Amino acid sequence: MATIINEEKIARINELARKSKTAEGLTKEELEEQAHLRWEYINAVKANLRSTLENIDIKEKDGSITHVKDIPAKRRKKED
């Protein structure tokens, strides 16, 4: 299940980042919240990227179209 990052969460991430740079710093609870929100954000970005990449079509030299998600994982690794 993909985590949805809404504007409120992004605003909170930014708020905690700004507060961490002040002399006051973050409390232990805020550090834990910041770590969790960053983890959620990173996972959402990864899921979005994976979804985007899986929807790419490649036009082969012979004119045929290959869907990236249909390429076996072994072949994708070998071609890297």
- Nearest-angstrom CA–CA distance, 21 and 15: 10
Q: What is the DSSP letter of 3?
A: P
Return the domain boundaries, the chain.
7-79
Of 73 and 16, the structure prediction assigns the larger pLDDT to 16
The per-residue pLDDT for range 19-71, each reduced to its tens digit, is: 999 999 999 999 999 999 999 999 999 999 988 988 898 888 999 888 888 87
* pTM exceeds 0.85, yes or no: no
DSSP result, 15-61: HHHHHHTSSS---HHHHHHHHHHHHHHHHHHHHHHHHHHHT-EEE-T
- Nearest-angstrom CA–CA distance, 17 and 3: 21
Question: Which residues are bridge partners to 58 per DSSP?
Answer: 66
